[in-house]
Each structure stands twice: as C-alpha cells, then as structure tokens.
Amino acid sequence: MLDLVEGKVHDETRQGEAFAPFVGDINHYTKKFYIESYGCQMNFSDSEIVASILQKEGFGATRNYEEADLILLNTCSIREKAELTVRKRLTEFRKIKEANPGMVVAVLGCMAERLKSKFLEEEKLVDIVVGPDAYRTLPVLIEEAEAGQKAVNVLLSREETYADISPVRLDSNGVTAFISIMRGCNNMCSFCVVPFTRGRERSRDPHSIINEAKQLFERGFKEVTLLGQNVDSYYWVDDSLTETGGQQGAVTFGKLLEMVALISPTLRVRFSTSHPKDITDEVLFTMSKYENICNYIHLPLQSGSTRVLQLMNRTYTREWYSVKVNRIREIIPDCGISSDIIAGFCTETEEDHTDTLNMMRSSAYDMSYMFFYSERPGTLAARRYKDDVAEDVKKKRLKEIVDLQGRLSYESNKKDMGKTFKVLIEGNSKKSEADWMGRSSQNKVIVFPKENYNFEKGDYAFVKVNDFTQATLIGEVVK
Ligand code: SAM
Ligand code: SF4
C-alpha cells in the first residue's frame, strides 16, 4: 500500500481507533457509546469533544460495539480511500444493527458534511448525520433518532470553536495531548476538500487554550501540540485588553506560543500545521527563545514545481519555499522539518516530478507524509482541471518520493550519531518492556534501555545516540 501516512499528525496505525472507556471513571452509565475515528488529528481531537458532550448526557464509553446503544464514526474525506474505508465499515455495522434494531448509528465529521442527507438516503443504516460544527446538537439529534426519526445537522458555523468544552482525553499515554486552537480553513488549495467540510477559519479564545494547557499540565501531561489546519494564521483580538479596538490586545500565533510556553519550562509545546506562506519570523524567534518550544516544524511543500504549485493555489514558488527553509535553519539551526507531498497532481510532468524530488533533497526533510493525488468532488481542482496523470504513473512517482524520503530520513538520523538529546519519555518501546520510547525536541523517536535508572513515563532523560534505523534513533542514558 503506497498511500503512506505515519507519525503523529495522520497516524495510519490509529485509523479507525476505538475510544477507550474513561480511565478510572467511577460513574454508572445506563447507556453506552462506541466511537471510531478516522483522518487527521483534528478529527481525533473532535472525538474527545464529542465524548465530553455524550458523557454529560449520561453515556459511558465502550470499546465493544456489540454492547453499544450508540455507534459513532468520525469520518475523513481528504482522499477517496479514506471514504471507502468508512463505507466498508458502515456495511459491517449494518449487520450488527439488524440484530439490535434499537441501536443508533451516527456519522460525524468531514464525510457527513460532504455527503449530508445523501448518507441517510444511500446508506440506509445511518440514523444521524452531524457535521464538525454541530456536535453540540448531538443530544437533540440522538433523542430524535431514538424516537425513530432520521436526524441531520450539517450547518457550518463562523463562530463555533467548542472553547468551553473540556475534552475527555482519548486513551492517551498521559504524557502528550493535543489542543485544538482554531477550526476551518480559508486557504482554498485547489486539491483540498477541507474548506468545504470544515468551513471558514476561526480562532479560539486564547484564555480557554491556556486554561486547557494548564489543566493538562496539572494532571501530569508534559507536552501539548497546538492544532489547526493553518496555525500560523491564528489571530485573536482581546477586547478586554484593548479599549480602543487597536492592536494592543491582538494575540498572534507567536504570542500564543509564548503564552503556552510560559506555563512551565517543563511543559513541551509543539504545533501543527504551518502553511509556508504564513509562518513568520516572530514565530521562529519565539521558538528559539524558549527551550520548551520544540524545534520541529511541519511545513508541507505539496509539490516542488512552481507551475504545479500555482495550479494547486499554494501561493508560493519553489524559490520562495527554499528561502523559508533557509530562514528556519538560520534562526533555529537544529530544527527538524517535515513535509506533505502529493504525487501526480493534474498535468504533472516528469520534469515537475523531478523538481519535487530535488526540492525534497535540498530541504533535507527528516520525515514526510506522502500521498498520490486523489480527486475530491467539489474542489477547485475537480472543477477546473482534468485528473490526467495515469494511476500507474502516480504510483511510480509516489514510490520514488517514498524511497527518496527513506534515504533522507536515514541520512538525517545518521547525522545524529554521537549526539545527546533531551528525551521526553512517552512509555515502553513497542518491541520491549526493557526499553523506553520517547521523542527529541525535533520529534524523532528515540529508544533506549531502562537499565537501573529510575525513570518514569513523563520524565526527561538525556540520551546519547549510538545506533539508528531509518525510523528510529537508538541510544543510552547519559548520566
Ligand atoms: N492544512 C494542512 C496544510 O495545508 O499543510 C494540511 C491538511 S490536509 C488534512 C493533509 C494533507 O493531505 C495535505 O497537506 C495534502 O498533502 C494531503 N491532501 C489533501 N488533499 C489531498 C488530495 N485531494 N489528494 C491527495 N492528498 C491530499
Ligand atoms: Fe487544505 Fe490547503 Fe487548508 Fe491545508 S491549507 S487544509 S491543504 S486548503
């Protein structure tokens, strides 16, 4: 399978992950819900908001869908494959519903928004369809569905940020958590369905973000990732700080980063995603000023060809992107940089593809999320351009991109040999309970033996790298 996606932002291993029952929850629930999440981290974060809304309504979580009164699928529309996976899953739930007709099935998220009531007509088993801005109405929709009516709310909002809802954390490691700081997107990249499924961009009140981060820190979390489709365009004007309505009270993304970093020097701060056109020197200097803001930027390139970038409506050229990468390395010399790449966008030639490979080399990415172009109905590209690169050519190009990234990741890890990193321990290594797994500031996974050190999950350790693979650094604790 070449539609490669791994890592923290869109983790393939987590696709379809079921919500864990609330850890240590002593409440007694008469009704149970089961939720599966697909797509990007924003969706996983939204599922935590949905869980919080349902918990208030007396629903307890279960990991066993057969005992659920309510099944929810939080869906993704970004590529066709994501939608096909959900459709397949829905047909599986049809069988369970046949045996248990009282069970309510709800489709949430981007696919709900894109297909709206078509879901009720085509997929006869669905009872509720809810778009990403309508989760507050879930209790009413559930009531309607329980009374035998089909219920839909796919209204998008210009204001909704769920700022006041304290998310119930998914089956987290208790060390790292995601905080949604904005919703929607105004960018209109021609290939992308997000502006249509998630609506206009809006920033969340910084006070509620800081409160959420503080609460997480008080509960023992040591790292927060600030999430948005385009975090660098975060902007909030705090009327309580500016009586004149001027700029004094404006909170930019750089300012917000600083506010979160100041909560505690032992709380790490990350963010995702940065659009290359919006990341500012203010953000870069703030990152270099605070040790606890991680030196890692996800800076999606999409294509290395200026001609294709123009068709994609990305608003930068290959030269402009290179200047941005150089600026990052100038201000934060040891910054990790990762990217998103799309192979085989409309009209892409071999020459355009070579431009992409060359840009990957010159940017020397530590890691990339790599996809082949998947036409999405309703997007600008679907309306304006022909999806004219043959499937086998797309796959061949994607393979070359994936192979090159493999070599770049290997080279990047090789350069870390002998270096010592401050590692936040996230838990046991997947392969052995005798080893810890954590991450460096640059977001690289480091595995090291526990030996006789008394470290615990959530501690920081200084680890010297003595070996590596393409995906992992291996080291030992430095006393
Ligand atoms: N907002 C982020 C940005 O602009 O970088 C990314 C959001 S999107 C959820 C994640 C990635 O999916 C994009 O960066 C792009 O590489 C990929 N993607 C989006 N639409 C796609 C499509 N139609 N076909 C293939 N990949 C797509
Ligand atoms: Fe999609 Fe572009 Fe917005 Fe990212 S910035 S969500 S790729 S429209």
Task: Read off the pLDDT of residues 302-336 as tens digits, 9 standing for 90 and up.
Answer: 999 999 999 999 999 999 999 999 999 999 999 99
Distance 12 CA to ligand 1 centre (A): 15
Q: Which residue matches tokens 């992409």? A: 356
List the structure tokens of 262: 């100041």
Number of H helices, E strands in the chain: 14, 22
Q: What is the dihedral of CA 422, 426, 427, 431, to 10 degrees?
A: -80
Name the pLDDT band for 26 (thresholds 50, 70, 90). Answer: low
User: Contact at 8 Å (CB) between 250 and 236?
Assistant: yes
Q: Do 269 and 293 contact (CB within 8 A), yes or no?
A: yes
Bridge-based pairing of strands 17-18 and 31-37 is antiparallel
> How confident is the model over 402-461, as pLDDT tens digits?
999 999 999 999 999 999 999 999 999 999 999 999 999 999 999 999 999 999 999 999
259 in Cβ contact with 224 (< 8 Å): no
Closest Cα to atom 4 of ligand 2: 229
Distance 191 CA to ligand 1 centre (A): 8
- pLDDT at residue 121 in the model: 80
- CA 472/CA 445 separation, integer angstroms: 5
Among the bound ligands, the one closest to the CA of 5: 1
Q: How many CB atoms lie within 10 A of CB 30?
A: 8
- Please give, one letter per residue, the 3-state secondary structure of 117-153: CHHHHHCCCCCEEECCCCHHHHHHHHHHHHCCCCEEE
Q: Which atom of ligand 2 is nearest to the CA of 229?
A: 6
pTM: 0.93
The residue whose CA has the least distance to atom 15 of ligand 1 is 340
| pLDDT for 123 beyond 70 | no
The ligand placed nearest to the CA atom of residue 369 is 1
Tokens at residue 85, please? 């996976």
User: Residue 189: which of 380, 386, 383, 385 has the closest Cα?
Assistant: 380
| Ligand 1 pocket by Cβ (under 6 Å) | 40, 78-79, 191-192, 194, 229-230, 273, 275, 300, 302, 340, 342, 371, 373-374, 376
Tell me how far apart the terminal alpha carbons of the chain are, to the nearest angstrom: 43
How many whole angstroms from its chain centre is CA 322?
A: 24
For residue 77, which ligand has an atom nearest its CA? 1
Q: 229 CA to middle of ligand 2, Å?
A: 6
Q: Which atom of ligand 1 is nearest to the CA of 369?
A: 16
What number does the ligand 1 atom closest to the CA of 40 have?
9
Q: Which residues line ligand 2 (CB under 6 A)?
A: 185, 187-189, 192, 194-195, 229-230, 275
Ligand 1: distance of its center to the CA of 80 in Å? Answer: 12
The Cα–Cα gap between 163 and 181 comes to: 9
Vertex 359, ends 353 and 363: CA angle to 5°?
150
CA of 192 to the centre of ligand 2 (A): 6
Reported as a single tens digit per residue, the pLDDT across 333-391 is 999 999 999 999 999 999 999 999 999 999 999 999 999 999 999 999 999 999 999 99
Closest atom of ligand 2 to 302 CA is: 7
Percent of the chain with pLDDT over 70: 92
Q: Give the Å distance between the CA of 140 and the centre of ligand 2.
A: 32
The residue type of 390 is: A
Q: For the beta carbon of residue 347, count every other beta carbon within 10 angstroms.
A: 15
CA 447 to CA 126: how far, in whole Å? 44
For residues 128 and 117, give the distance between their C-alpha atoms in angstroms, rounded to a whole number: 9
| Residue 275 Cα: closest atom of ligand 2 | 5
Distance between CA atoms of residues 135 and 86, nearest Å? 19
Q: What's the CA-to-centroid distance between 186 and ligand 2, angstroms?
A: 8
pLDDT in tens, 416-429: 999 999 999 999 99
Is the per-residue pLDDT at 220 higher than 60?
yes
Residue having the nearest C-alpha atom to atom 1 of ligand 2: 192
User: 245 pLDDT exceeds 60?
Assistant: no
Closest CA relative to residue 343, chosen from 403, 287, 418: 403
Angle made by CA atoms 69, 70, 74, in degrees to the nearest 5? 160
For residues 291 and 336, the answer to whether their CB atoms sit within 8 Å is no
Helices 206-218, 253-261: inter-axial angle, 10-degree rounding? 30
Q: Which of 180, 194, 232 to mutate to test the pocket of ligand 2 (most atoms within 8 A of CB)?
A: 194
* Nearest ligand 1 atom to alpha carbon 374: 24
Q: Are 301 and 341 in contact (CB under 8 A)?
A: yes
Question: Which residues face 368 on adjacent strands?
Answer: 339
The preferred substitution site among 10, 186, 187 for testing ligand 2, maximizing ligand atoms within 8 Å of CB, is 187
